Amino acid sequence: MDRGINNASDKSGGRSDDGLNNASEKSRGRSDAGLQRAREANLRRADDDLRNHPRLPGVLHTNANDLRAGYQAALLTNPDLSFGNYVAASRLGQNLGSRHPNITRDAILSGLASGRSMGRTLQDLGLSERDSKDARRFVDDEIKKAKKNR
């Protein structure tokens, strides 16, 4: 059974790709406005998080502006994405990418955008359930330490 990314589009003959457009057209744009409000609210929460935890970008070996810009770009494809999940996906991609080349931040974000959990996404990308759990726990601990040390 193939559970790959973009599987819904293939199985539905492309009808699933029309879902967002249909919502926008049938609501006369109200759906788009709601998505934009959700993106803006998520960005404000991300800014607050970065302001309250200035060491967080250092854990990801980046700066706050690049982290914010990457999150903003990710929100375009998944307006429900939380900043915490973006940070975790970034760190998981960095930690696991050298041993598992198919595990990247973008692949993880794509799995989250399709409605799967972080753990399920990592398993779909080739990790065992145990390795997925260990990797998520390690990253969660890293992020907690970064947030603790102001």
Query: Which amino acid is present at 28?
Result: R
pLDDT tens digits along 92-144: 999 999 999 999 999 999 999 999 999 999 999 999 999 999 999 999 998 88
User: Residue 1: pLDDT band by 50, 70, 90 thresholds?
Assistant: very low
User: What domain count does the chain have?
Assistant: 1
Alpha carbons 123 and 117: distance in angstroms, whole number: 10
pLDDT tens digits along 36-57: 777 777 777 776 777 777 777 8
Tell me if 129 is assigned to some domain: yes
Tell me if 9 is assigned to some domain: no
Place of tokens 């975790």: 88
Tell me if 143 is assigned to some domain: yes
Tell me if 1 is assigned to some domain: no
Tell me if 3 is assigned to some domain: no
Greatest pairwise CA separation for the chain in angstroms: 50
pTM for this model (two decimals): 0.68
Tell me if 25 is assigned to some domain: yes
Residues of the domain holding 111: 19-148
Alpha carbons 118 and 131: distance in angstroms, whole number: 12
Q: Is the dihedral of CA 74, 113, 147, 123 positive or negative?
A: negative
